[in-house]
Amino acid sequence: MIISILRAAKFSLQDIARNVWLSIVTVLILVLAFFSVNLLLSVQVISQAAIDTVRDKIDVSLYLKTDAPESEILALRAAISGIENVREVIYVSKQEALEDFQTRHKNNPDILEALRELDSNPLSPSLIIRPNDVNRYDGLIAELNRISNPIIESRNFDDHKLMLEKINMITERVNQAGFAVSLLFIFITLLVLYNTLRVAIYTHRSEIAIMRLVGASDWFIRAPFIISSLLYTLIGVVISGTVFYLFLNLLQPYLEAFFLNYDFNIIHYFQSNFAQFFILEFAAAAAINIIASLVAVRKYSNI
């Protein structure tokens, strides 16, 4: 058995070397197919990250009375922090609100001058509340509306609700379209792979018939083709992985500029998911290769 496996491997390597152009073309098609799948997955990852970035920025603010004592504000903050689905509650004091206002309008001397005309700080302190799960935003708003505290000046959340509904709708559609496009694309890729290998085996049809003629078993005929396809797949995955990694390095500076102030690094994403990503690709392509080999060899093994 071992000698047969070694011989099948020898025939496979001999065949790859002696049909070098066919081998190169097969690997090239595999590389293009893997690269396309990787690209599609990246587009999905980036679009999901963009949606998450927008969702992450969603918060609601409770504006408090200007004379609200600090101790009561902190007590209210603690109470809100205890509500389920609250990720964090940021307390923006009157002073911080003023500094933020001045920073935002530093290029508008009229507004700054008007502010200076006033005797005291006119801005209200506020509590900025960020939810854990924006899909359960309605429940959070209901909880916040139930809080009855005299230091609360206003709580108008309607604009946020509308925006969230739109984001959720867009997210859902992007996911649905992405899923459909991915399925279609993966199906096309698998068809391309299947046909590439069938063509590769078709060119060997007379050899397959001769192998059968001299008494080779089905296993012995198929094994070199299966080993060759696994090698092609492995080489294809390695090359496409390397090229794709270089491509991501070129892409990352543009993504950094796009996701300003947001921690998104596509290279890290691929590094952390490398194993499952490429093992899955290799396994899927290898399975297709084996099926193509089995079907094609069966077809051409009659003399």
Partner 1 sequence: MITLENVSKTYPPNIKALDRVSLSIKAGEFVSLVGQSGTGKTTFVRCLIGEEKPKEGKIKIGDWDITKIGKREIPYLRRQVAVIFQDFKLLPKKTLYENVAFALEVAGKSNAKIKSIVPQVMKIVGLGAKMHRYPNEVSGGEQQRAAIARALVYQPKVLLADEPTGNLDSINAQEIIDLLKKINEFGTTVILVTHNRDIVNRLKRRVITLHDGRVISDQAVGKYVL
Binding site for partner 1 (CB under 8 A): 3-4, 7, 14-15, 18-19, 206-207, 209-218, 220, 302-303
Q: At closest approach, how far in Å is the CB of 210 from partner 1?
A: 5
Which of helix, strand or coil describes residue 67? Answer: coil
**Structure tokens that stand for 82 in this block:** 């205890």
CB of 13 to partner 1, least distance (A): 12
CB of 4 to partner 1, least distance (A): 6
**What is the rounded distance in angstroms from the CA atom of residue 108 to the CA atom of residue 94?**
21
Q: CB within 8 A of 289, min separation 6: which ones? A: 193, 197, 226, 229, 230, 232, 233
Nearer to partner 1, 94 or 212 (CB): 212
Query: Taking the complex as a whole, how short is the minimal distance between the CB of residue 28 and partner 1, in angstroms?
Result: 21
As beta bridge partners, residue 90 has 128
- Using alpha carbons, list the distances in angstroms from residue 179 to 33, 102, 172, 253: 18, 46, 10, 27
Please say whether the beta carbons of 49 and 264 come within 8 A: yes
CA atoms within 13 A on the CB side of 146: 9
In the bound state with partner 1, the residue whose beta carbon lies nearer, of 5 and 39, is 5
Q: Least distance from C-beta 207 to partner 1, angstroms?
A: 5
User: Which among 199, 193, 235 has a CA at the least distance from the CA of 33?
Assistant: 193
Tokens 């946020």, residue located: 160
Helices 20-56 + 274-300 axis angle, to 10: 140
Answer for the pair 131, 90: CB distance below 8 angstroms, yes or no: no
Q: Which residue, 103 or 302, is less far from partner 1 as judged by CB?
A: 302
Residue whose CB is less far from partner 1, 190 or 227 = 227
The Cα 268–Cα 259 span in angstroms is 15
Look at the block and give the residue holding tokens 């005929």: 221
Residue closer to partner 1, measured from CB, 31 or 221: 221
Smaller CB separation from partner 1, 58 or 231: 231
CB of 17 to partner 1, least distance (A): 10
Cβ 189 to partner 1, closest distance in Å?
A: 30
- Least separation in angstroms between residue 236's CB and partner 1 is 23
Q: Name the burial class of residue 223, with classes exposed (0-12), middle (13-18) and buried (19+) by CB atoms within 10 angstroms of its CB.
A: buried
Taking the least distance from each CB to partner 1, the nearer of 15 and 281 is 15
Helix 109-117 crosses helix 94-104 at what angle (to 10 degrees)? Answer: 150
Q: Which is nearer to partner 1, 9 or 152 (CB)?
A: 9
